[in-house]
Structures are given as C-alpha cells and as structure tokens.
Amino acid sequence: MADLSLSSSPTLSVVVPVHNEEDNVAPLVEEIVTALGVRGGYEIVYVDDGSGDGTWARLEELARLYTEFRAVHHAERRGQSAAVVTGVRAARGSIIATLDGDGQNDPTDILKLLAVFEAREPEAPPLMVAGNRTTRRDTGMRRIASRIANGVRSRLLGDATPDTGCGLKVFGRDVFLAMPAFDHMHRFLPALMIRGGGEVVSVPVGHRPRARGSSKYGIWDRLWVGIVDLAGVMWLKRRPVAARVDRETGTS
C-alpha cells in the first residue's frame, strides 16, 4: 500500500474511495477544493482500490498540484468498505466526510452536512449525518432496487435512515474506528452507529447523472450480497457492544 503524504494536520478529512475512475478524479478533486476552500483546515484522502486503469497516475499528478491532497493505493482490489476503512485510518482530521468517487455526489453538500454535525451539543451522543438523495439521477431499475433495499434495511435494522446507500456522510473518526470492520460495512454505517450508542440524522442532498465512466457495481450482485450482509448485521445488533465511544472525548 503506497501513500503520498502531507505534512499539515487538518481538522476535516474528505475520504473518497475509487476504482477505475481515471476520468473522474481530477474534476471531482477540483470541485472539492472549490467547495471547501472558504473553510480551510481540510485534507482530501483518495483511496485507489486496485485500479487497473490510469487512476493511480492521475492521483500522483494531483498530489503534486494540491497541497491538501493525499492518495493511498491498494495493490489489489479489496472492495469499497476496505477502501473507506483505509482512508479513515490514514486520515488526520478528527471529522470525516465521505463521498463516492464517480462524481454523482455534489461536493458542496459536504458543507450542509458539516453544519448539522458541528451544531450538535457537546454532551450529545456521537452523531452521523447522512445524505438523502431525494432526487436520484440513476436508471429506473437502479432507483427501484435502491428504494426496495433501503426499505428492507430500515424495517429490519431500525436505522431510520431513508438512504443508507448515499456515499455522502459526516462522522467522527474515532467513532468510525470503534465500529466492527467487515466487507460491505459501508452499506450499514447508520445501523452500526446506532448500535454503538450514536445517533443518525439524514439531510437532503443533490444527486447528479454520471458524466464519465461506468458503474462498477451490478444491481443483482449487490442485491444478493446485501441479503447475506443484512442477516449478518441483524446478528451483530443482538451482540453486546464491548465499549462505546465516550460522548465528549471521542475515546473508548
């Protein structure tokens, strides 16, 4: 695993997992920099999950262009959840914002989620702010599959989250690292947050058509894998939590 590092210590880390997105990385990084430029104190952490195209070469170029940009590389594909875990572990900020690397999430919505996250009371339980794509810019079949999946997950897990599949989320780094890490965990972050004693708030966000490249995930593949994962998370919810993250310090 290679790492292109940065010397400063930001408070916010934007983690973006990618696989074979060579045409999307530069435009999206530019958008993130523009959106967060007024805020300052941030870094962008891209995780290249074993891409077979020119994604890593593009990321190396961006690391030379932007001082707030970092990149980490998996030698082979390990999956989106593993990429998110790698990115959060590599992050230096105490606050994590995640978004998908296909360009369909609008980086300006990060500020909307951050405003809700930072407005919480200090004594409140740990908080995750999740994006809710109220207007999907996907195919009709993908929208239907997502609506069914979200409904089933919400009913069985009680996570009260209308759009768990949205890549836009904001949460504390230490809270995330206290969660159990497993393949496909990114689909169940709200349920895992609640299991650990935290709260989840959903905020409406935009959603854009994919402008470049193609989706790396099949609808039916995700459906069958999701059923198995759902059963596992339901089992996990019934297991006691060994340690909860402290509300004030963020430590366990």
pTM here is 0.81
| Nearby residues of 221 by Cβ (< 8 Å), 6 or more positions away | none
Q: Tell which phi-psi region holds residue 160, choosing left (phi > 0), alpha (psi between -120 and 50) or beta.
A: left
**Residue of higher predicted confidence among 116 and 229:** 116
* Structural Rg of the chain based on CA atoms: 17
Cβ neighbours, 10 Å, residue 224 = 10
Pairing of strands 199-205, 127-133: parallel
* Fold (CATH) for 2-237: Spore Coat Polysaccharide Biosynthesis Protein SpsA; Chain A (3.90.550)
Tokens of 133: 């794509």
**Mean predicted lDDT score pLDDT of the chain:** 83
**Residue of higher predicted confidence among 135 and 124:** 124
- Give the pLDDT confidence score for residue 250 in this predicted structure: 43
pLDDT band with cut points at 50, 70 and 90 for residue 7: very low
Lowest-confidence segment of 8-12, 93-97, 247-251 by average pLDDT: 247-251
Per-residue pLDDT, averaged over 73-82, amounts to: 96
Per-residue pLDDT, averaged over 186-208, amounts to: 92
Beta bridge partners of 131: 203
pLDDT band with cut points at 50, 70 and 90 for residue 140: low
Using H for helix, E for strand and C for coil, what is the string for the chain? CEEECCCCCCCEEEEEEECCCCCCHHHHHHHHHHHHCCCCCEEEEEEEECCCCCHHHHHHHHHHHCCCEEEEEECCCCCHHHHHHHHHHHCCCCEEEECCCCCCCCCCHHHHHHHHHHCCCCCCCCEEEEEEECCCCCCHHHHHHHHHHHHHHHHHHCCCCCCCCCCCEEEEHHHHHCCCCCCCHHHHHHHHHHHCCCEEEEEEECCCCCCCCCCCCCHHHHHHHHHHHHHHHHHHHCCCCCCCCCCCCCCC
pLDDT band with cut points at 50, 70 and 90 for residue 65: very high
| Contact in structure between 31 and 64 (CB atoms under 8 Å) | no
d(CA 199, CA 189): 11
Amino acid at 204: P
Please say if the pLDDT value at position 148 is more than 60. no
- Give the pLDDT confidence score for residue 134 in this predicted structure: 87
**Residue of higher predicted confidence among 160 and 191:** 191
